């Protein structure tokens, strides 16, 4: 919402909005989009129905089989490709596996650039599941979901939580339909 408001305030200049957001939030690094092409998410659900838009996908009670970008030929942002090429460490995640992590990897050229990079590449798995997106997913199922949707292998390591939050924290998450992601290291 903050970025959307800053885009509007900057006359539609997304790059300027990202710079402003970085200043407002006092971010030390840079926020670089994978593409500047306006895209929508499409998902093929477990029953074969296709849904469009993040809200419809997340609110569906069906599991996602595959996720797609519309249009599929979004142009990768050159600064993103350069940042990947220059990186010593590439951290993918944490985030909504189907609506945040995978879509960035579907932008043509992004997964290839990560795959070709000599950097250490790690997927940082969510600590908690997400209702409508990764209900009851284990860490391994997060990895399988990514690899089932992305043609290239994009990480060599998986960082997952093996600690257990307090009972009060677990109960609070349960009220939101979230559960601890099982760290199935195998």
Mean pLDDT of the region 89-112: 96
Q: For 145-185, how does the pLDDT look when each residue is reduced to its tens digit (9 = 90+)?
A: 999 999 999 999 999 999 988 999 999 999 999 999 999 98
* Predicted local distance difference test score (pLDDT) of residue 72: 94
**Model pTM?**
0.87
Q: How confident is the model at residue 115 (pLDDT cuts 50, 70, 90)?
A: very high
pLDDT of 7 higher than 90 = no
Q: Give the residue among 26, 8, 27, 30 at the shortest CA–CA distance from 17.
A: 8
Residue 66: is it exposed, middle or buried by C-beta count within 10 angstroms (0-12/13-18/19+)?
middle
Rounded to an integer, what distance in angstroms lies between the CA atom of residue 77 and that of residue 92? 17
Residue 53's contacts (CB-CB under 8 Å, 6 or more residues apart) are 40, 41
pLDDT value, residue 28: 76
Q: Which pLDDT score, from 0 to 100, does residue 166 have?
A: 92
**70: β partners:** 40
Q: DSSP states of 111-158 as a string?
A: HHHHHH--SEEEEE--SB--TTTSTT--HHHHHHHHHHH-SS---SEE
Q: What is the mean pLDDT of residues 11-39?
A: 84
Cα separation values, 29 from 3, 81, 85, 166, Å: 16, 16, 16, 31
- 70 C-beta neighbours (distance < 10 Å), count: 13
According to the model, what pLDDT value does residue 92 have?
95
The pLDDT value recorded for residue 168 is 93
Q: What is the pLDDT of residues 56-75, one digit of tens each?
A: 999 998 999 999 999 999 99
Count of residues making up the chain: 186
């Amino acid at each position: 919402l903050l970025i959307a408001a800053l885009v509007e305030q900057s006359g539609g200049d997304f790059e300027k909005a990202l710079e402003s957001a970085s200043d407002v939030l006092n971010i030390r690094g840079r926020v670089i989009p994978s593409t500047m092409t306006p895209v929508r998410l499409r998902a093929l659900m477990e029953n074969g129905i296709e849904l469009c838009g993040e809200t419809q996908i997340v609110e569906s009670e069906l599991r996602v089989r595959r996720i797609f970008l519309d249009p599929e030929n979004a142009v990768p942002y050159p600064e993103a490709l350069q940042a990947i090429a220059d990186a010593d460490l590439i951290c993918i995640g944490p985030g909504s596996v189907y609506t945040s992590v995978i879509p960035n990897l579907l932008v043509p050229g992004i997964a290839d650039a990560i795959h070709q990079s000599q950097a250490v590449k790690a997927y940082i798995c969510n600590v908690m599941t997400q209702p409508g997106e990764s209900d009851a997913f284990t860490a391994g199922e997060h990895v399988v979901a990514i690899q089932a949707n992305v043609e290239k292998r994009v990480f060599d390591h998986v960082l997952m939580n093996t600690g257990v939050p307090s009972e009060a924290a677990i109960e609070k998450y349960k009220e939101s339909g979230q559960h601890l992601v099982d760290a199935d290291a195998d």
